[in-house]
Each structure stands twice: as structure tokens, then as C-alpha cells.
Structure 1
Amino acid sequence: MIIFTRELKRNRKSFIIWTASLVLFNILMMSFYQSIAENTEMYDKMVMEFPRAMIEAFGLDKISMSTILGFFGTECYIFITLFGSIYAMLLGASTLSREEGEKTIEFLLAKPVTRSTIVTEKAANAFSLITLFNLIFSIVNFLMFDAVKIDDYSTRALLLLSLGPLLLHLTFTSIGLLISVFVVKAKAVYPVSIGFVLFMYFISIMSSISEKLTNLKYLTPFKYVDAPDIIMNERIEPVYLAIMFAVIAISLAATYVLYNRKNIQGV
């Protein structure tokens, strides 16, 4: 577990920054809920003046900001899913590439460890950090819900709104791990990772506002854990769960195979 512990220390600072930033932002946004709930009619009228495409893109035609779940789904959920996914993708994409980029791979492989062991411990570290990231966010979120709620809400829906981002982030982490086999320069990790996540989010938006493009929802993980659908149906569709687990499994398997076959310069 030497590699696992080493990775925890290397990723500690970025983990604290990302977690603290998103948690504090969520606390700030949730603190506005009561004032918005007291002026429901005004906000409903304001929402109706938005372009139809914008209303459909953010699910404002399905949920209302007058409820605490609806408010969270429209105002806060996008940040934990989008920015959390960027963090997950960056974490995964830098996991293996960092060693080559920092020229420390030769030292690591000189030790009595196999490449499979390197992948296992580094992947375990990335998944552990993402799980802890979501756990902290979820605990704080539950506390905020109880602090600012006006009416009762569905605990099941809130649990699913906590599970959804976790699965989403693990999916992007696994894809990032696979990408880290090919992208070895630190300067390339950021544009590739951020660009991929934003492209997936763009596809999600397009599938929401255009009936002709609705089938694109199967290509983007963001639609698998869409807040309005989770709040309305109180479940994550089995087909979406299956796709996410399949992507995670395939990405991990491909990472093991390709990294073991990779010709690492200098080794």
C-alpha cells in the first residue's frame, strides 16, 4: 500500500481545495432557499419569462424552486455534478500520467512492484478520494436540508441525489484513468479532461432541448443522473445504472491491459 499512501499525500491539497470550495458554495446557495420559497409567485413568473429552451435544458418545467428538492435540483445540483466531474476527470487523468510527466516512473518501476499493482493502488486512491468527496458533500447537504427546510421532503429522493453524483464522478474517474495511459504531459491533462466533461455536458443540454437529439442522452453520463427525473421518479433508471457500471468496468479493464503493454520511454 506504499503507492496508495503516497498518492493520498500527493492529492491531499487539491482534494481539500475542491471539497471545501464546492461544500461552501452549496452551503451559501442553500441558505437562500427560505427567502426564495417565501416569494414563490415572483420566482415562478420570472422563470416563465426564460426562453423555452433554457427552461427545458435545466428541467424547470418539471420541478419548482418552491420545494427544497426542486431548489437544490436547479440551483445546486449542477455545480456538484459539473464541477465535481471536472475534479474527478482531472484526478483520474493525472493518476498514471503524472509519473511519466515528472520522470519518476523509472524509480517506481525499479521497485519490486508490477504495473498491475501500480494501476490497482493508484485507481484505489482515486476512487477513495472521489467517494470521500461525495460522502462529505452528502453529509453537509443533509444537514443543510434539515436546517433550511420549510416543508417535509422525500429522503429517498435526496439519497438518490447523493448517489447519482457519486456514480457520475466514478464514471468520469474511470474514463480519466484510461486517458492517463495515453496523455502523459501535465499541460495536456487539463484541456483534455475539462474539454471532455464540458462536451458531455453540452450533449446533455442538447438532448434536453431538441426532440431530434433526445437519443443523445444515452451518450452522456450527465443525463443518467438528471435531477428533475430523479426527483419526479425517485429512482435512477436501471439502464443508466447498467451503462455507468459497464463504462467503469470496461475503462478499468482497458487501463490494466494497455498500461501493461505500454512502451514507457526510459524503462
Structure 2
Amino acid sequence: MIFNMEFKSNFTKTIAWAIVLIVLLGLMMAFYPFLAEPQMNSIFGSMVETFNDSTKEILGFTSSTDITNIGDYLAVIYHYLAVLMFIFAMQLGASSLSKEQTSGNIEYIYSNPISKSEIVTSKLTANLVLYLIFLLIMALATFGFVFIIAASGVNSKYIPEMTDFDVIQALIRIFVSLFGSGLVFMSFGFLLSSMSKSSEHQDAISALFVFLIVLLTIIGKTMGGTFANVVAFFPNVAFATYAFISSNINVLTIGVNLAIFVVFIILTYTIYSNKELKY
């Protein structure tokens, strides 16, 4: 019952977010054939080389990034789209455990024989499934845009040949990184929701929280030193798309983030189980 309620409640939102991001993805993909031109690629490459390593990372590049390689280009695109995807993931969790109190449905839920832990489990499962559906839609749309670009033949002589297997492998790496970081942000949202009595401002709080994390990331990488080492453990950095594409994965930071996800979910169960629900 709770799973179906949560799934139906957020399904329309999931599709709406996917449509918006697909439009943005299409606009960014449209530039790929033109960036593959030798003259444009040379200008772009020269500009990137003027940045130091920390600035390159902030912008989603590595020293080995080849913008004419479709896998590298997709990693750069999703470095920016990921910010919006983090907001969506956190919003799923942030309103999940408090919206029934806002809408007044909590009385109906508690008229059924169900425990608080079952509510958390059902809502967590429903939102994980929705996030996976969202990622699958984005992955299919991305593959579709790559196919359209290849079929169009625009500047095809400048674009390195890439098989369907290569594209799929690149997409798997990118979306594994987005799934991992999305889980952590969703757990932030669930923890926030378990402590909140209303879901009225949760979407705005989620957006502000993600933007704060991104701002701290930029400051940390710019300042360097200890701050940069701390920022390396942020989920958007630990699961950075360019790191997964270049196979430059930091197992320690990923492990810490997975541990954070587990701890936040445990705290969510604990806090919500002891929460007094007024209706």
C-alpha cells in the first residue's frame, strides 16, 4: 500500500524532471559535432590548457579529456546535469516521510496495521525504483541522441569511431556514478524528512543544500590543502563522472560515502520510529 502510494505520488514528478533534463541534454549534445571540428577543438583545447588542475576538475575535465571522444564529452555534460539530478534525488527523500502529515493522509495510513519501519522501507524502496527509472530514461535518451548524431553524419570525418558497445560502456560508467551520488543525496533527504513535520519547503531546502555542496566544492578545490582533501569526500566529487570515465576512481572516498548512506538511512529509521506523529 505505502509503496504504491509513494510511487504514484512521485511518478509524475520523475517524468517531469526527465523531460526537462532531456531537453537540456539535447541542447548540449547538439554542440558535439561542431566541437569535433579541428579548428574548434584546437581553440577549446587551448582554452582548457590555460586552467590549472583544480579549475579543470571544477569544470569537469581531466588532463586526458578528449572532447571529440563521445564518452568524455558525455562525462562533461553530465558533470553539469548531475547538479540537477542531485536536487531531484534529494527531493525524493526530503518530502517522503513528512508529506502525509502535511496532506493529512497520516491518519489513513495509521488506520492500517503497519509499523513506522515498514513505512520507511516502503518509501525508500519506491523512491529508489523511481530514481532507477529516471536514470534509465536518461540513459536511453542519451543513447538516442548519440545514435541521431552518428546517423546525421555531421562532421563524421572528424569524430573518432565509437561502437555501440563503447557508447554503452561509457553510459554504464557515467550512470553508475550518478546512481551512487544520487543515493547519498537521497539519504540526506530521508534524514531531513524524518526530522521534519512538514514537506512544504523541502524542495527548496534540497536545492539550496545541493547548491551549497557545489559551492563548497568549488571553494575547496580553489583553496587546496586540507579543505580540498575534505571536499574530496563529498558525494559529487567521490562519484564524479570524469573519474569514472577515466577509471581514476578513489575507492576510499566511495567507501566513505556508501558508509554515510548506510548511517543516514539507519538514523532515518531510528528518528522516524521515535517520532511523534500528530494528526
Same-fold call, TM > 0.5?
yes
How do residues 102-181 of structure 1 correspond to structure 2 at under 5 angstroms? 102-148=103-149, 150-152=159-161, 154-155=166-167, 156-181=169-194
Report the 3-state secondary structure (helix = DSSP H, G, I; strand = E; otherwise coil) of the residue aligned with 2:195.
coil
Taking the aligned partners of 2:240 and 2:96, their CA distance within structure 1 comes to 28
- Whichever residue aligns with residue 151 of structure 1, its letter is P
Taking the aligned partners of 2:231 and 2:52, their CA distance within structure 1 comes to 21
Alpha carbons of structure 1 residues 110 and 201: separation in structure 2 relative to 1, 3 Å: same
Q: Residue 69 of structure 2 corresponds to which residue in structure 1?
A: 67
Alpha carbons of structure 1 residues 61 and 111: separation in structure 2 relative to 1, 3 Å: closer
Taking the aligned partners of 1:133 and 1:79, their CA distance within structure 2 comes to 17
Question: Does the CA contact (< 8 Å) of 1:56 and 1:209 recur in 2?
Answer: no
Report the 3-state secondary structure (helix = DSSP H, G, I; strand = E; otherwise coil) of the residue aligned with 1:187.
coil
Taking the aligned partners of 1:263 and 1:163, their CA distance within structure 2 comes to 37
Report the 3-state secondary structure (helix = DSSP H, G, I; strand = E; otherwise coil) of the residue aligned with 1:181.
helix
How do residues 1-267 of structure 1 correspond to structure 2 at under 5 angstroms? 2-38=1-37, 39-47=40-48, 54-60=55-61, 62=63, 63-74=65-76, 76-148=77-149, 150-152=159-161, 154-155=166-167, 156-212=169-225, 213-232=227-246, 234=247, 236-266=249-279
Report the 3-state secondary structure (helix = DSSP H, G, I; strand = E; otherwise coil) of the residue aligned with 2:200.
helix
Taking the aligned partners of 1:190 and 1:227, their CA distance within structure 2 comes to 25
Moved over 6 A (4+): 49-53
Q: 129-138 vs 140-149, which deviates more?
A: 140-149
- Whichever residue aligns with residue 187 of structure 1, its letter is E
Report the 3-state secondary structure (helix = DSSP H, G, I; strand = E; otherwise coil) of the residue aligned with 1:186.
coil
Q: Deviations over 1:153-174 (max 9, x none)?
A: 5554442111100111111112
Shift of 1:124: 0.7
Question: Does the CA contact (< 8 Å) of 1:4 and 1:125 recur in 2?
Answer: yes
Alpha carbons of structure 1 residues 242 and 61: separation in structure 2 relative to 1, 3 Å: closer
Q: 27-36 vs 46-55, which deviates more?
A: 46-55
Taking the aligned partners of 2:171 and 2:103, their CA distance within structure 1 comes to 42
Taking the aligned partners of 1:248 and 1:199, their CA distance within structure 2 comes to 19
Unaligned runs of at least 5 residues, structure 1: none
Count of residue correspondences = 263
Taking the aligned partners of 1:14 and 1:184, their CA distance within structure 2 comes to 22
Taking the aligned partners of 1:67 and 1:257, their CA distance within structure 2 comes to 47
Provide TM-score, normalisation by structure 1. 0.88
Shift of 1:184: 2.6
Alpha carbons of structure 1 residues 207 and 89: separation in structure 2 relative to 1, 3 Å: same
Shift of 1:245: 1.9
Unaligned runs of at least 5 residues, structure 2: 151-158
Question: Does the CA contact (< 8 Å) of 1:96 and 1:177 recur in 2?
Answer: yes
Shift of 1:49: 6.2
Shift of 1:52: 8.2
Q: Deviations over 1:230-265 (max 9, x none)?
A: 233x25322233123212211211111111111122
Q: Percent identity?
A: 25
Question: Does the CA contact (< 8 Å) of 1:157 and 1:235 recur in 2?
Answer: no
Shift of 1:152: 3.9
Taking the aligned partners of 2:230 and 2:242, their CA distance within structure 1 comes to 18
Shift of 1:53: 6.5
Taking the aligned partners of 1:216 and 1:77, their CA distance within structure 2 comes to 23
Provide TM-score, normalisation by structure 2. 0.85
